[in-house]
């Protein structure tokens, strides 16, 4: 099949790039020294290609990924690199003999869940500086003893230095990786076992502690990793179909300017992307980057509203709704369109400001970072729903609400710990 025969949009993988990336990684991490992370490519077809290259063990982020790999006959050695409190579905795979399953444990509760679910093999997950999960390195030996006492096979340890994977400065990245791995090595000395699992694409050649590297992004890469000095290339292409004015003119000559406005509205939201990408490449000041990204948020909201307005103008011109905008014998409705535009923008901004102000006040009365994170989620959802209910722009409402909480609520109503938790949550949620 040729690219021109595909229905668009279609996401294409460049086979030559994929093979080159895989060859580079396999030369450095042959066979079991690499445990590819399935979440980075989400397809068993690519996983099967990795098996062909000698990498038969895989790292999974969810139970569903484990099940999918097992169903595809790729269950020789599957690691669920996240803790679970219900391992029953994994136990089904183990008892059926369709997969060898290992789970990460970091507490007595996750050990008990593995036993109850029927999983037999575990790795002790160690916090090496990214406070997402994992036990304290000093507790790793005790947890391993508890797991063995419960009848589990402790294969070793795992620890992910995700907080340093995207460090642009290579020397600094190497130093931070080394410090993180010192903790993992001490934990492994207390735990025992043949496996030390961790690392990722960013530390593929500087993590010398792990026996298996949990890298996945290298297969097809992404824009953020592309900023680093890595020998891997981006291998995904989005195939789209572009509608342009000359074509529209041939189909409907009287609609040229409306179609032009539609295209302009769609393209308006993309203008900062190239600039932001260049900023990341050349490491400009953080303040300038924030200003440009902030402008892009407002720009995106305005573009959405403009698109809706142009759609209304276009449908009106076709006689589908209200009278024609233009010279339709006294039926000119340009003022109505302008009012609609202003209502969506300013009502959306007002609703976002009000909700942001209220949530900022509430955060000042609470000193629990989990509750305050939940309040910011409610604020974003509420701003969007509230604006939509009055036919205003939900996008602008959410942007203004976020700016209000980030600049007022965070500074006046949140403790340093809470600010870090809130910012980390939204950085993760939007990444």
Q: Where are the beta strands (DSSP E) in 160-219?
A: 195-198, 212-213
The domain ranges of the chain are 15-237, 242-332, 350-431
Cβ atoms within 10 Å, residue 161? 27
Q: What is the pLDDT of residue 258?
A: 65
How far is residue 387 from each of residues 294, 338, 340, 345, measured CA to CA in Å? 20, 18, 13, 10
- Percent of the chain as helix, strand, coil, to the nearest 5: 60, 10, 30
The answer to whether residues 198 and 207 touch, using CB atoms and an 8 Å cutoff, is yes
Q: What is the pLDDT of residue 307?
A: 76
**Pick from 183, 175, 75, 165: nearest CA to 125:** 183
The answer to whether residues 311 and 341 touch, using CB atoms and an 8 Å cutoff, is no
Q: What is the pLDDT of residue 332?
A: 39
Q: What is the pLDDT of residue 321?
A: 47
The answer to whether residues 410 and 364 touch, using CB atoms and an 8 Å cutoff, is no
Q: Give the list of residues 6+ apart from residue 199 with CB closer than 8 angstroms, or none.
A: 160, 161, 177, 207, 210, 213, 214, 215
How far is residue 31 from each of residues 26, 63, 232, 263, 418, measured CA to CA in Å? 7, 24, 19, 49, 43
Q: What is the pLDDT of residue 376?
A: 84
Cβ atoms within 10 Å, residue 125? 28
Tokens describing residue 369? 């970072």
Query: What is the pLDDT tens value at each position of the chain, 431 positions in all?
Result: 676 778 888 888 889 999 999 999 999 999 999 999 999 999 999 999 999 999 999 999 999 999 999 999 999 999 999 999 999 999 999 999 999 999 999 999 999 999 999 999 999 999 999 888 999 999 999 999 999 999 999 999 999 999 999 999 999 999 999 999 999 999 999 999 999 999 999 999 999 999 999 999 999 998 888 888 899 999 988 888 766 555 555 555 555 566 677 777 777 766 565 666 666 666 666 677 777 766 776 677 777 777 777 777 666 655 544 443 444 443 435 556 667 777 778 888 898 899 888 888 888 787 787 888 888 888 888 888 888 888 787 878 888 888 888 878 777 777 777 777 777 877 776 65
Establish how many alpha carbons lie within 13 A of residue 353's alpha carbon, considering only the half-sphere containing its beta carbon.
6
Query: Is the domain covering 15-237 a CATH 3.20.20.10 domain?
Result: yes
How far is residue 339 from each of residues 268, 269, 274, 312, 345, measured CA to CA in Å? 21, 22, 33, 13, 10
Across the strands, what pairs with 158? 125, 197
Q: What angle do CA 84, 86, 91 make, to 5 degrees?
A: 105
């Amino acid at each position: 099949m040729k690219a021109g025969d595909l229905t668009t949009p279609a996401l294409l993988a460049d086979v030559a790039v994929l093979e080159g990336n895989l060859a580079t990684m396999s030369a450095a991490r042959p066979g079991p020294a690499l445990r590819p992370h399935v979440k980075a490519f989400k397809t068993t077809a690519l996983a099967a290609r990795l098996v062909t290259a000698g990498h038969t063990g895989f790292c999974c982020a969810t139970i569903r990924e484990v099940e999918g790999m097992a169903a595809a006959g790729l269950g020789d050695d599957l690691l669920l690199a996240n803790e679970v409190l219900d391992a029953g579905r994994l136990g089904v795979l183990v008892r059926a003999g369709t997969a060898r399953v290992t789970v990460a444990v970091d507490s007595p509760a996750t050990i008990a869940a593995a036993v109850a679910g029927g999983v037999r093999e575990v790795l002790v997950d160690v916090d090496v500086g990214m406070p997402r999960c994992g036990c304290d390195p000093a507790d790793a030996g005790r947890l391993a003893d508890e797991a063995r006492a419960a009848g589990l096979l402790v294969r070793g340890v795992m620890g992910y230095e995700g907080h340093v994977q995207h460090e642009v400065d290579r020397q600094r990245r190497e130093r931070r990786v080394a410090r993180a791995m010192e903790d993992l090595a001490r934990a492994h000395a207390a735990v025992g076992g043949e496996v030390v699992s961790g690392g990722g694409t960013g530390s593929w050649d500087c993590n010398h502690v792990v026996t298996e590297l949990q890298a996945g992004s290298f297969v097809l890469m992404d824009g953020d990793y592309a900023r680093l000095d890595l020998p891997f290339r981006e291998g995904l292409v989005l195939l789209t179909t572009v509608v342009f004015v000359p074509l529209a003119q041939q189909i409907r000559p009287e609609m040229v300017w409306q179609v032009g406005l539609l295209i302009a509205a769609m393209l308006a939201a993309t203008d900062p992307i190239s600039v932001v990408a260049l900023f990341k490449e050349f490491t400009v000041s953080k303040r300038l980057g924030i200003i440009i990204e902030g402008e892009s948020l407002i720009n995106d909201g305005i573009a959405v509203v403009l698109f809706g307005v142009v759609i209304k103008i276009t449908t009106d011109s076709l006689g589908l709704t209200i009278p024609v905008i233009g010279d339709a014998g006294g039926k000119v409705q340009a003022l109505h369109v302008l009012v609609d535009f202003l209502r969506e923008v300013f009502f959306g901004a007002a609703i976002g400001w009000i909700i942001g102000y209220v949530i900022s006040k509430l955060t000042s009365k609470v000193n629990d970072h989990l509750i305050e994170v939940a309040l910011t989620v409610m604020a974003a959802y509420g701003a969007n729903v509230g604006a939509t209910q009055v036919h205003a722009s939900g996008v602008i409402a959410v942007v203004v609400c976020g700016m209000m909480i980030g600049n007022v609520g965070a500074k006046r109503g949140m403790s340093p710990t809470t600010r870090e938790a809130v910012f980390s949550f939204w950085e993760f949620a939007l990444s």
